[in-house]
Each structure stands twice: as structure tokens, then as C-alpha cells.
Amino acid sequence: MSETKKGRLVVVGTGLRTTGHMTVEAIAWIKRADVVLYVVGDPVAEEMIAALNSNAISLQTLYSSDTKRIDTYNLMVDKILEQVRDGLEVCGVFYGHPGVFVYPSHEAVKKARSEGYSAVMLPGISAEDCLFADIGTDPATTGCSSYEATDWLFNLRPTEPASAMVLWQIGILGNEGYNPGGRYPTPMMPLLIAKLGQYYPLTHKVAVYEAAVQFGCTPTITWVPISGLATAMLTAASTLYIPPATQSVPDHAVHQQALAMGVMPE
Amino acid sequence: MNYDDFLSHRAMVRDAVRTTAFRNAIAAEVKEGDVVLDVGAGSGVLSLFAAQAGAARVYAVERSPTATALARHLVAANGLEKTITVIEGDVRQLQLPEQVDVIVSEWMGTLGIDENMYGAVLWARDHFLKPDGGRIVPVSVTAMAAPVSTAQRVDAAFFAERPWGIEMGPLQENTVNDLLMSRRRVEPGDLAAKPQALWKHTALADGPETVRGTTRGELTFKIDRKSETTALALWFEADLGNGVALSNAPDQRDTHWGQMLLPLVSPLSLAKGDAVHVEIDAWPVSPGPLMFAWKWRVNDGPNTQLNTTGQHHGAPQMQGQEAGFDAARRSPLSAFLAGLAVDADRLAGFLADPDAAMADAGLEGKYADALRSQDAERIGMALFETGGAA
């Protein structure tokens, strides 16, 4: 068994809104780390991190208008790894779930492991977790697929109208940048509507959803027909939730086989 | 700046560099039959240009009663009442009967966002601008910075010299924690290093959070001549669209803006080749201009000082690293919510009786009201506000 080097990385998330979404485990790791490196856009999270650990450094300052986003992310990874290589116990804190729509967190964990350091990522509360709670739907009932909207539009992803589907970042469809809460032109929306029309009636009601990111506030849920997406008010934080449009089709062949094997429940 | 007086509007209209640039940009951008919204219309001069350019309808929105009256007089004097509707009020409370093709706004302070007006433009964009094909003048505004050696520290030096035999040291400290604003001309020869872009704002792309949070800039300058550096000079370069530019840079024609100076307590003696690292935070305090905090580091040495605007009315000056850069911009509301985030008992107490929990924590006034409102935008603003009732 190979020996793990001194120096350790634990990546945690602040949840979508810090107050109420911080896990006890994340708080504990921030508290006990030798150094905390964080990327949060929220003053409550920043305040909390500063209160829990006096040796906390923001990586937000690495963003700059003349640096490519991927270069900034790689710089963040380097900064995190520098501290791990110094033999320190490092806590990386990211907004939301640290592993959902976050590149540098995954990359830092991979890199630290590849260099022989202990590295783990702890789950946080993501927008998807909020969506299931706020819309009141259980993905276990009919299943639920989840895609980034532009990715779904431009790729042949399996699409099953008898299951729910979530399309992320519908408000920045076709845009490369990302500004949470910002509004972008979405000239590709007619293409998305047309593609959805291949699977769903255009009258099918879908929810434009935005989780509440401020403590004590309510989420925004607007139901519109698919055809209404052309004029719906979308922001970069908008997510599209499409409930099932058809009944599930039983797989009769498997039913028959299960019956024949005598393993079919009553 | 106080906009509720004729003097400031007269100065802006008389600023030929500014006003001509906007006229040219609007003439190129506004097409026959366009609907135009003028945010923070002031005297209404941009609305008049839009009407001249062929706009079918122009909505001129202005908060200041004095400026609104002035705009109405000018619109009437030009016989454009049927084209231009002057509305007194905040654009955030506005109801418009239609979406607009073009938003025009002269929202810039001396370095761009410092007058805290850009948020109103983004709000107007998100609520009134046609999503496809809508245009905004200006297109983008870049804040520029350079260390300078100027006589602008003369106030601070004067107070340091015990004039009339009176100790005026406290006034010196206050002076350097204030922005030395407009109409203080920086000469191109005052620059101690090549100017650099501090941050850039692009009206069609920026999210509303751009102006809610802290705008942070960090630059390293290479000093290009031996100098006694006294301040960081700031100005803007605006792209008004269609090839029209507007800037109050030291090497451009004079404008009513002049340049902004973030002064040092004591001048720094710098040699050619020295590296000066500057960090600047600017954040909104509503209503009113942005607050600023800035610090300097030379050749990887310790932080030279930390200055914060708004510290000049009796509050102690923040000086040195121990004060904590971020402490300058903490809102009592973010501290309160951060406390709830890490303490389940406190959170349970708040859920049971929010008013009692806020009173126990000393959270009052606008911060408590924001939390009670359950309005995300209001809470978001309060999270970045400092001072006042805590």
C-alpha cells in the first residue's frame, strides 16, 4: 500500500444560500484547516469563512477581464495545490455543491490524488436539490434526466418524454460566458423550442425555475407552455423543468421473463 | 454628486467633450421610429438628441425634481412634448407601456461606476429593453488607473505642517481617506507608470449582481521613472458605440469629470523599475456613491497603508494590515446571517422568533427591515451596505 504524503485537501460547498445550507461537516473542515482557499460570490459565505478560520484566502481575485476563464480556473488549482504541497491541511470552499458546474474543485482533487496526497470532495446542496424540494417532484417516481441546455440542444442526448427532464442554464443558451442573475440574448431559443417539439407537445407546461439564493426568500417558479419559452423572462440563473408528458411504457418482455423466473412480485 | 441643482446639469451640458460624444453616438445608434429610454435623464439633453435622431418615442426618466423640471422646460422649448415623455421617479419603480429599442444613459462618474448609477441601467435593460436587438449607449466603460506624482497631496501636507500653530493632524488623516474628486487636473507628465485597465463594464453582458457586490481590481505597475508617488489616478474610457469614444484620461481634452485620485498618507519614493501593487475595492452603499478601499504594496514589501472612504467624519481611519481589508466592507446583515449559518441553535431561535433574534443580535433598521421583507433584491443590497443602523 502506497504511503500518503503529508498535506491534505478537503473540498466543501457553501450550498446555494449559506445560511441554512452549510453542512456541519463543511463547517468543521473549514474550522480545522490550516488554510482555507475559497471562491464564493456571497458576502455571507465570506463573512462566515473569515469567522471560522483566520487563515482564509479568496481566489476570487484571480478573475480578471483579460484572462481566459480556463486559465483562471487552472490558476486556482495551482494555488490550492501549492498549499497542499507545503504539507498543509487545505480546505477549498466553493459556492453551491462543490462538484456541480465547478471545474477547479474536481481538478484540484484529481491533481492532489495523482501527486499522492489525500483529497476528498464533500457534497453540498445544489440547485437541483432545491428544485426537487421547491417544485415538489420526486425523481424516483418517473426518473429524471438532467442536461446543460446548450449541450442538450447540440447533442443527441437520450430524451424520454415519460420521464422528467431538467435543462440547466437555459437563460444563457448558446452563450459561453456566465453571470448568475444576468440576462443574455438567446437567439437559439427557437431551435430549442423546435427540438423540444420533437418530443413534447408545444402546449406542454414547463417550469422556468430559479432557486432562492437569499435566506428567507422564496424561489421563482413560472409555468409556461413550451411555445411560451420564446417570450419568457429568463436570466442566467434560470433552469427549465419539464415534467413527464406521457405515461411510462412497461417493458413487457422483462415482465414475461420475471414471471417465468418466478421472481415477479405480487 | 448632487444632481438636484442647476449648477451640476449646466456643467454637464456645457462639457462639450461629453455632450458632443453622446450626440454623435446617439445620432449613429438611434434609427427612425426607435423607442428610446433615457435612464437618469438629467437635463434631458440625451433624450433631445434621440428625438433629433428620429426616435418615435423617448421616455426620459429622472429622480431629481429640479432636473425633471429642467428637462420638461427644454423639451417644451424644442416643441418635442409629443415625442419625449419626461417622468420623475426611479426607473426601478417605472411602468412603461412598451419595450424599447435603445437605452441611453450618461451614468458615468469620474472612473465609471463610482456614482452607483450603473445598476439602474442594468435594471432598465432587464425590464424594458427588447431582448433581441436591443442596444445600449454606452456599450462599455473601462476604468483606468496609474500611479501619479502630483501636487494633489497639498491639502494633506498643509494640515501636517501645524498651520497657525494648530495641530491639524486629524484633518490630514481625514483628507487621505477621502476621494479627491473632479476637476483636479492630472497632467500626462504626472503619470509614474503606464496606465492599466482596472475593470470593465459591458452593459449588454453584465449581470445585475455586477453592481450589488464589491468591484475589485488588482494591478501591478512598473514604475518608469524616479518619482515621489502621491496617489493613484483613475479615469474611464467609454465605448459609446459606432466608433464613438469618450474619455477623461489625462491626455484627453478636459471634461467636467477631471480625474479621481486615491491619495497616499505619505508620498512613496519610487525608483525606475519598482513594482507597485495596488488593490482596490469599491462597493455600493445605497443611496449615494460607491465607497472605496485601497491599499498599496511596493516590491513585495508589506502593505503600505489601507484607506477607506467614508472614514472622514470622526470614525477612526483604517490603517495597516491589522485592520483587515475586508473589514471595511462588512455589512451587519452578512455578519448576522453568517452567525446563523454556523450555529443551529441561533438559527432555530431566529426561525421561532425572527424579531427577538435580530434584536438580541443588535440587528436593526434597514438591515432588519430587509430581512423581514423577504425580498431577495432588498436583502442582496443590504448585504453590501455598511454604516447606519446596525
pLDDT tens, B157-214?
A: 677 777 788 877 766 655 655 555 434 578 888 899 999 999 999 999 988 777 766 7
Residues 6+ apart with CB under 8 A from B46: B22, B26, B38, B104, B105, B106
Task: Identify the residue with better confidence: A187 or B120.
Answer: B120
Of all residues in chain A, the percent with pLDDT exceeding 90 is 66
- Residue environment code for B162-200, b if the CB has 16+ CB neighbours within 10 A, otherwise e: eeeeeebeebbbbbbbbbbbbebebeeebbbbebeebbb
Is the CB of A53 inside 8 Å of chain B's CB atoms?
no
Task: Identify the residue with better confidence: B380 or B82.
Answer: B82
Q: Mean pLDDT, to the nearest integer, of B238-258?
A: 93
B101 vs B247: CA distance, rounded Å = 26
In the prediction, which pLDDT does B331 show?
79
**pLDDT over 50 at B29, yes or no:** yes
Is the CB of B189 inside 8 Å of chain A's CB atoms?
no
In the prediction, which pLDDT does B282 show?
78
Is the CB of A65 inside 8 Å of chain B's CB atoms?
yes
pLDDT band at B50 (very low <50, low <70, confident <90, very high): very high
Contact yes or no for A179 and B126 at CB 8 A: no
Of all residues in chain B, the percent with pLDDT exceeding 70 is 78
Cell triple for residue B131? 431582448
pLDDT band at B312 (very low <50, low <70, confident <90, very high): very low
**pLDDT over 60 at A109, yes or no:** yes
Which candidate, A64, A67, A30, places its Cα nearest to that of A47? Answer: A30
Least confident residue range of B5-9, B287-291, B308-312: B308-312
Least confident residue range of A71-80, A94-103, B189-198, B226-235: B226-235
Q: Which of A48, A66, A212 sits opposite B342 (nearest CB)?
A: A48
B239 vs B234: CA distance, rounded Å = 17
B378 vs B384: CA distance, rounded Å = 10
In the prediction, which pLDDT does B323 show?
28
Contact A243, A224 (CB under 8 A): no
**pLDDT over 70 at B101, yes or no:** yes
Residues 6+ apart with CB under 8 A from B337: A18, A19, A44, A47, A215, B383
Per-residue pLDDT tens over the stretch A2-14: 556 789 999 999 9
Active site residue A157: no
Q: Mean pLDDT, to the nearest integer, of B227-253?
A: 92
pLDDT band at A1 (very low <50, low <70, confident <90, very high): very low
In the prediction, which pLDDT does B229 show?
83
Residue B314 CB coordination number (10 Å) = 7
pLDDT band at B256 (very low <50, low <70, confident <90, very high): confident
Of all residues in chain B, the percent with pLDDT exceeding 90 is 41
Is the CB of B218 inside 8 Å of chain A's CB atoms?
yes
Point out the catalytic residue in the list B29, B62, B106, B173: B106
Task: Identify the residue with better confidence: B253 or B5.
Answer: B253
In the prediction, which pLDDT does B146 show?
94
Q: Mean pLDDT, to the nearest integer, of A125-131?
A: 95
In the prediction, which pLDDT does B183 show?
45
Point out the catalytic residue in the list B88, B115, B228, B364: B115
Contact A228, A204 (CB under 8 A): no
Peptide bond into A123 cis (omega under 30): no
CA distances from B170 to B161, B178, B261, B306, B311 (A): 12, 13, 20, 16, 11
Q: Mean pLDDT, to the nearest integer, of B244-259?
A: 92
Mean pLDDT of chain A: 89
To which H or E segment does residue B47 belong? helix B45-52
Q: Is A145 exposed, middle or buried (0-12, 13-18, 19+ CB in 10 A)?
A: middle
Contact yes or no for A235 and B132 at CB 8 A: no
Is the CB of B379 inside 8 Å of chain A's CB atoms?
yes
Cell triple for residue A80? 490550492
**pLDDT over 80 at A103, yes or no:** yes
CA distance B204 to chain A (A): 7
The reply to whether the predicted model has a pTM over 0.90 is no
Strands B275-283 and B291-298: antiparallel
Contact yes or no for A65 and B334 at CB 8 A: no
Is the CB of B264 inside 8 Å of chain A's CB atoms?
no
pLDDT band at B10 (very low <50, low <70, confident <90, very high): confident
**pLDDT over 70 at B310, yes or no:** no
Least confident residue range of A193-207, B136-150, B244-258, B280-294: B280-294
In the prediction, which pLDDT does B366 show?
85
CA distance B227 to chain A (A): 28
Least confident residue range of A93-107, A108-122, B115-129, B276-290: B276-290
In chain B, what residues touch A44 (CB-CB under 8 Å)?
334, 337-338, 341, 383
Is the CB of B338 inside 8 Å of chain A's CB atoms?
yes
In the prediction, which pLDDT does B262 show?
78
In the prediction, which pLDDT does A185 show?
63
Per-residue pLDDT tens over the stretch A227-254: 888 888 888 789 999 999 999 988 999 9
In the prediction, which pLDDT does A4 show?
62
In the prediction, which pLDDT does A30 show?
95
Contact yes or no for A180 and B376 at CB 8 A: no
Active site residue A147: no
Q: Is A95 exposed, middle or buried (0-12, 13-18, 19+ CB in 10 A)?
A: buried
Mean pLDDT is highest, among A113-127, B259-273, B350-364, B375-389, for A113-127
pLDDT band at A154 (very low <50, low <70, confident <90, very high): very high
A6 vs A104: CA distance, rounded Å = 22
B317 vs A233: CA distance, rounded Å = 45
**Bridge partners, A39 (sequence order):** A94
Cell triple for residue A194? 423546435
In the prediction, which pLDDT does B317 show?
30
Contact yes or no for A216 and B380 at CB 8 A: no
**pLDDT over 80 at A66, yes or no:** no
Q: Mean pLDDT, to the nearest integer, of A207-216?
A: 92
Q: Mean pLDDT, to the nearest integer, of B347-363?
A: 90
Which candidate, B3, B2, B13, B21, places its Cα nearest to that of B236? Answer: B21
In the prediction, which pLDDT does B389 show?
36
**pLDDT over 50 at B27, yes or no:** yes
